[in-house]
């Protein structure tokens, strides 16, 4: 991608770290307040969301009052407002986007629905009308950035994605504003209702209620140790008695746990006596060889689950570590994903990632890692 000598191309990234990676590839090394420039480019950034949908009272003053007769609130227009805490950076971005020296804009926010929404809101709030190209990359290696810049697409190709993002944003607004007010009025206290937060909270509450209602019960399990005749030390096996019918699901009246017996010990003692007077024999023996597919790659949820189980990390700690490995060290692909597969362009970065980490882990790498699909 080459910039015109007389006009400047503005690139808007979602985060400062991404902007720095792009600027380094382009040779835009002169730092300004809230941007980097050089070589015919000016690279600036959002800090997540700089712009949001207006609050009800910012649309109509009479909507400031929480009254049942005003519900539902259904705007006919959706004005945007700038977040107070990041207004300084928005002003930097606005001046760059509307500068007479800037001929066109490159949207370099994250490749996804939310990234598209962040750019579109800023672009609209800034009053910009200049042509837009889209940088669509899921890796921040230098090669990935260069390839992406060489294959910029017209911004109009992502209008449907922007429509979906805008629809989701407005739906969240309608649910949150209307239901929060409705529940607050009914219960006479300030309550917050959200499309995502409320069902998530409901799952936590349901689980907490189940835990509080749990009544511990004493039970007995009968365990026997079986030893082989030829080599008792190597051929021992510990088995737990269970109801075969319950294990197979044939006995509807059987307790849900097939091995648990009443705490009074009567039934357990009868089973022990039968076991001691009887003779143990192997009724059948079968074996088979199975080929298992390797596990799928991590998505963010699975990574956070394993981070917690193995190291006690919180979900946020795991995300912060993964983000650092991705942005700063270039050792993993984009972590904020719910997909357990790689797209073709991201898969192409795998050999570079493997080469980066292989020095200290050669013994742990299978043959062909980074080269075989």
Return d(Cα 163, Cα 182) in angstroms, integer.
Answer: 28
Q: Is 186 exposed, middle or buried (0-12, 13-18, 19+ CB in 10 A)?
A: exposed
| Residues in CB range of 77: below 8 A, 6 or more apart | 59
Return d(Cα 80, Cα 214) in angstroms, integer.
Answer: 49
Tell whether omega for the bond before 16 is within 30 degrees of 0, i.e. cis. no
DSSP H or E run through 51: strand 51-53
Among the residue ranges 221-225, 262-266, 329-333, the one predicted with the least confidence is 329-333
Q: Which of 121, 326, 334, 361 is catalytic?
A: 334
Whole-structure pTM value: 0.72
Between the CA atoms of 245, 247, 250 and 255, what dihedral angle is there, to the nearest 10 degrees?
A: 90
Q: Is 228 exposed, middle or buried (0-12, 13-18, 19+ CB in 10 A)?
A: exposed
Per DSSP, what are the bridge partners of residue 45? 13
| Reported confidence tier of residue 15, pLDDT bands at 50, 70, 90 | very high
Catalytic annotation present for 334: yes
**For the residues 348-366, what does the mean pLDDT come to?**
82
Output the pLDDT for position 5.
43
Check whether 246 has a pLDDT greater than 60: no
Output the pLDDT for position 4.
45
| Reported confidence tier of residue 318, pLDDT bands at 50, 70, 90 | very high
Residue (of 39, 42, 43) closest to 2 by Cα position? 39
**For the residues 84-106, what does the mean pLDDT come to?**
95
**For the residues 76-85, what does the mean pLDDT come to?**
95
């Amino acid at each position: 991608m080459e910039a015109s000598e007389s006009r400047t191309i503005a690139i808007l990234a979602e985060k400062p770290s991404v902007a720095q990676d792009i600027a380094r590839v382009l040779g835009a090394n002169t730092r300004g307040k809230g941007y980097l420039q050089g070589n015919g480019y000016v690279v600036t950034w959002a800090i997540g969301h700089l712009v949001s949908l207006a609050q009800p009272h910012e649309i109509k003053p009479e909507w400031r009052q929480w009254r049942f007769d005003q519900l539902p609130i259904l705007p006919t227009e959706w004005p945007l407002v700038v977040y107070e805490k990041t207004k300084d950076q928005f002003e930097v971005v606005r001046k760059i986007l509307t500068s007479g020296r800037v001929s066109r804009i490159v949207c370099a926010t994250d490749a996804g629905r939310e990234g598209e929404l962040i750019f579109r809101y800023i672009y609209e709030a800034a009053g910009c009308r200049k042509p837009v190209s889209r940088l669509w990359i899921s890796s921040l290696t230098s090669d990935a950035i260069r390839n992406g810049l060489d294959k910029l697409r017209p911004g109009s190709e992502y209008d449907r994605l922007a429509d979906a993002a805008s629809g989701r944003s407005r739906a969240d607004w309608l649910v949150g504003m209307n239901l929060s007010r409705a529940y607050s009025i009914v219960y006479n206290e300030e309550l917050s209702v959200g499309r995502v937060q409320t069902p998530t909270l409901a799952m936590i509450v349901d689980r907490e209620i189940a835990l509080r209602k749990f009544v511990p019960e004493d039970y007995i399990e009968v365990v026997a140790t079986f030893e082989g005749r030829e080599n008792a030390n190597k051929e021992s096996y510990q088995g737990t008695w269970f109801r075969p019918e319950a294990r197979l699901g044939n006995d509807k009246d059987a307790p849900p746990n097939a091995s648990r017996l009443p705490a009074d010990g009567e039934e357990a003692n009868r089973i022990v006596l039968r076991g001691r007077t009887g003779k143990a024999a192997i009724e059948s023996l079968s074996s088979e060889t199975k080929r298992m597919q390797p596990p799928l790659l991590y998505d963010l949820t699975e990574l956070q689950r394993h981070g917690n189980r193995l190291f006690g990390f919180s979900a946020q700690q795991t995300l912060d570590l993964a983000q650092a490995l991705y942005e700063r060290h270039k050792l993993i692909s984009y972590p904020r994903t719910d997909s357990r597969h790689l797209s073709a362009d991201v898969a192409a970065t795998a050999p570079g990632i493997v080469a980066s980490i292989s020095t200290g882990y050669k013994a742990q790498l299978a043959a062909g890692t980074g080269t075989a699909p």
